[in-house]
A and B are shown apart, each in its own frame.
Chain A
């Protein structure tokens, strides 16, 4: 699954560590999500969407 987390994070000026702190996950997990190695759970996907004040559908795209 592709996602726009990296683009959104960089546009907001956050580091992976800072975003991880806000979402309650590690920096490594943010990196894994951004590189597509890990698909987040539904609650975490919602948390990411809420953090960037958008929807899950606008961030995560099925290949």
Chain B
């Protein structure tokens, strides 16, 4: 935990994410996809709330809080890198699977959702396993 980022970058990131979330909600609503818009608000809101908790925990928290707060040391950065690498591979395979599924008229929005969820779940599991193993 050699670096201590100030509050301003965190607030900037939070406002940026909130703006992106709002934009996605508006686009989905205008497109008439109310279910998608609700999903954006629930999923995005939950993610932002989790981030806020991790930022609040900061240096006092565990590996996830250190990484989310920009306070990660070399081991914690390696854990995050490993988890992101697994996520990239999993999302690649999910994308290939989605492309094949689209041959059977699976909707694009369903494929995109599956790819995103595969990424989120893979990252969470891989991060937890890496952190536990050291």
A25 lies within 8 A of B73 (CB): yes
**Which of A37, A41, A44 is in CB contact (< 8 Å) with B134?**
A37
Interface contact B75-A29, CB-CB below 8 Å: yes
**CB <8 Å contact, B62 and A40:** no
Is A40 touching B1 in the complex (CB atoms < 8 A)? no
Give A11 Cβ to nearest chain B Cβ, in Å.
23
Max chain A C-beta neighbours (<10 A), residue from B62, B66, B73, B133: B73
Near A by CB (< 8 A), chain B positions 76-133 give 76, 133
CB-based contact B133/A26 at 8 Å:
no
Does chain B have a CB within 8 A of A38?
yes
Interface residues on B, range: 10 to 19
Known: A24-B2, A26-B1, A35-B134. A44 touches B74 (CB 8 A): yes
Contact of B76 among A29, A40, A41 (CB under 8 A): A29
Cβ distance A12 to chain B, nearest Cβ, rounded Å: 20
**Count class of interface residues, chain A:** 10 to 19
B5-31 at interface with A (beta carbon < 8 Å): none
Q: Is A55 an interface residue (CB 8 A)?
A: no
B59 closest partner in A (C-beta): A26
Q: Mark A1-40, 1 if CB is under 8 A from B, else 0.
A: 0000000000000000000100011101100100101101
- Contact status B134-A25, CB under 8 Å: no
Identify the B interface with A (CB < 8 A). Answer: 1-2, 62-63, 66, 73-76, 133-134
Offer 29 A-B interface pairs, CB within 8 angstroms, sorted by A: A20-B1, A24-B1, A24-B2, A24-B73, A25-B2, A25-B74, A25-B75, A26-B1, A26-B63, A26-B66, A26-B73, A26-B75, A26-B76, A28-B62, A28-B63, A28-B75, A28-B76, A29-B73, A29-B75, A29-B76, A32-B75, A32-B134, A37-B134, A38-B75, A38-B134, A40-B74, A40-B75, A41-B74, A44-B74
